Amino acid sequence: MRFGAVIAVALLAVDPFGWDRFGPLRWAVISTIGFAAIAISLGAGDSRSQPLPRWSVIGWVAVMSGMGVSAALSTDRWHAFVGTPDRHLGFAAWVLFVGLFAVASLYPNSAVSGISRASAAAAIGCGVWAILEAAGFDAFDTGFVDDRVGGPLGQPAFLGAAMLLAVPVAASLAVDRANGLAVRVLGASGALLGAVALGLSQSRAAWVGVSVAAICVVVRRRKRMLGVLGLVIVVALWFITPLGERASTLTEFDTGVVAGRLDEWQVASRALFDTPTFGLTGHGPEGYRTVFGAHVDEGYVIRHGRDVITDRAHNGLLDTTLTGGFLAGVGMVLLQAGLLVTSLQRMRSTDPIDVGLSAAIIGYLTQQFFLFPLSELDPVLWVFSGLLIARRPQRVEYRPPLFASVSGARQLMMLGALFLAAASAVAGLSDVAADHAIDEAVAALDSEDPDADQRALRLADEARSRRPDSIRYDFIAARVASMDRTLEGFEESLERLKAGLDTSPTDPAFLEERGLVLLEIARRTSDPTDLSQALDALELLDASDPNNPSTELAHGIALALDGRATSGISELEHAAVLDPESIEAVLNVAIIHFESGDLESGRTALERVEALAPSNARAISLRQEFLSE
């Protein structure tokens, strides 16, 4: 039952009253229930029916050692251990993964009933949600591009990955003749509705995963008719529905998703070796976001932009190696290879649940080649993995592992898991309360109350007080403070940004925002000291993240204000190259030329602006002011 609860909350936990409806509550419940399940299992005194395979022990030792050392050496140590507010994939999450894997392997038979029913029920919930969302009944107004749906996971890619786990296990319920009619109907409903959710998510990584898993089932179980039927269905979907057009982009290697993944892997590969140990240790869990800017090239930025903070490598093995170093990477290779081999072996089993678990693991690991580890779903993966390897035929005489016969060691681990469960509950509930305060702050900003800005700031600061360790609320409060665009507002914003940087000194979002706010303060005060502080911050950004169009634009403006027009124009032109669709950089180039008396160069720059935005009000005003004669 406790493992079924982990699966249910991982797929369905949503907070309808929060600002981030798919984040804080889900992780709070997953981590609390997960660590509690580990503690209960250890406290029950149960021992596994056979030892864990050597590859799994060696793999996990390597992964956890690499992650632990890299976290200790990280420049952002707090988030390396506890995770960022968005991703939650710190060292603590990896402790949860290995713990669930280990204790799930204690119950190879008794737990399968609960997890299969929970998987089917969760798939039904996701399928119904996805259908309603596709029909226009989007309760949270998520509005994804190309009419994709995210369901209760809040992201189409996450929904697709979740269905890779849930659907095969639900299908195993439906085909198992040992189950009663009601249970088989539950399984069939989950498999069908989950498959619909998988399709509506339009997650190409998940589609690749389900294709590989299906091929493995057909080949290993020699179901030729099943393979022919599946091929007919795929061909029909390809030609009859819009899904085929999206799937066809997987064959476009020069453009689209494949080219994008190749670009991301190139940047991540450059970052991999940029550590003092040349990759033997990584950048620490959650550390990729702090070094991405130093390794991204112009071509990547021009093709993909810099609208979001890149914190993941879009490849599970590469992401693990980046954060935990080569030791963690080798450990993960060993774990995944062992799981794939075991899954292929268990697909020949006469027990449907073995086939379902095997297909789920193969599909999920395949899609992770294009995605990344997820704190929301990887707990389910490792529960399934622990169950599956414990269900393999016993080939050796069982000898209990050392800790099973040493009660003190087991009790110590149980107490540690209980502590982590309690800490997760306290931190998670505080995070949910803070998230609710942010939701009220956003609602206040949308109101017509003349004191709306101040009320929103008070609520944002209340969120900060509830989770003073969370940089998310420092950043939101800083943005709220600066919304009135006054000097006082920017100064208050700067105070909150400094508080966030005290927690995470190398966070790229905070460093960029601080540079932009310092520039705004300098523009309003015209104080040389303020301008010098802005220039110092922006020059550091330029050195550590030279291909960020936002900071290049700000740096160019700051240099021009400092009387260095030529250097300023150079930075602005670079910003224009990095973001060719934006007019801001070229517009500022025109202004600098006009104000310095170079009307011809100003005219040329203005024409570039007008080619992109013919009706831009600022461009029209400049033409009238400087070129009307």
Structure confidence by residue, pLDDT tens digits, 3-21:
888 899 999 999 999 999 9
Mean pLDDT over each residue of the chain, to the nearest integer: 89
pLDDT at 234: 57
Nearest to 327 by CA among 59, 62, 61: 62
CB 19 within 8 A of CB 432: no
Answer with the residue of higher pLDDT: 131 or 391.
Answer: 131
- Kindly indicate the confidence band of residue 167, based on its pLDDT and cuts at 50, 70 and 90: very high
pLDDT at 229: 60
Nearest to 77 by CA among 344, 363, 286: 286
pLDDT at 47: 66
- Alpha-carbon distance of 87 to 240, in angstroms, equals 37
Q: Which residues are CB-neighbours of 333 under 8 A, at least 6 positions away?
A: 317
End-to-end CA separation in angstroms for the chain: 81
Number of neighbours of residue 131 by Cβ within 10 angstroms: 16
pLDDT at 147: 80
pLDDT at 163: 95
**Is 345 a residue whose pLDDT tops 50?**
yes
**Is 359 a residue whose pLDDT tops 90?**
yes
Predicted model pTM = 0.92
- Our CA angle for 615, 620, 626, nearest 5°, is 160
- Alpha-carbon distance of 217 to 160, in angstroms, equals 19
Cα dihedral 397→403→404→410 (10° resolution): -160
C-alpha distance from residue 291 to each of 325, 412, 498, 504 (Å): 14, 37, 20, 13
CB 283 within 8 A of CB 70: yes
**Is 588 a residue whose pLDDT tops 70?**
yes
- Kindly indicate the confidence band of residue 259, based on its pLDDT and cuts at 50, 70 and 90: confident
pLDDT at 252: 60
CB 545 within 8 A of CB 294: yes
- Kindly indicate the confidence band of residue 428, based on its pLDDT and cuts at 50, 70 and 90: very high
- 3 state DSSP class of 314: coil
Nearest to 313 by CA among 351, 275, 283, 280: 283
- Alpha-carbon distance of 205 to 364, in angstroms, equals 9
- Alpha-carbon distance of 505 to 499, in angstroms, equals 10
Region 197-210: mean pLDDT is 90
Beta strands in 426-510 (DSSP E): none
The helix-helix angle for 256-272 and 288-295 (nearest 10°) equals 100
Region 147-168: mean pLDDT is 93
Residue matched to tokens 């170079």: 598
- Alpha-carbon distance of 72 to 412, in angstroms, equals 23
Residue 372 tokens read as 């990344």
pLDDT at 627: 80
Largest separation between any pair of C-alpha atoms in the chain? 97
Q: Give one DSSP letter per residue of 398-428, joined into a string.
A: ----HHHH-HHHHHHHHHHHHHHHHHHHHHH
Region 341-350: mean pLDDT is 91
Residue 325 tokens read as 């170093």
**Is 364 a residue whose pLDDT tops 90?**
yes
- Alpha-carbon distance of 348 to 346, in angstroms, equals 5
Residue matched to tokens 């990759």: 279
* Interval 106-115: pLDDT, tens: 887 778 888 9
> Please, how many CA atoms are within 13 Å of residue 363, restricted to the half-sphere of its CB?
28
Q: Which residues are CB-neighbours of 217 under 8 A, at least 6 positions away?
A: 223, 226, 347, 355, 359
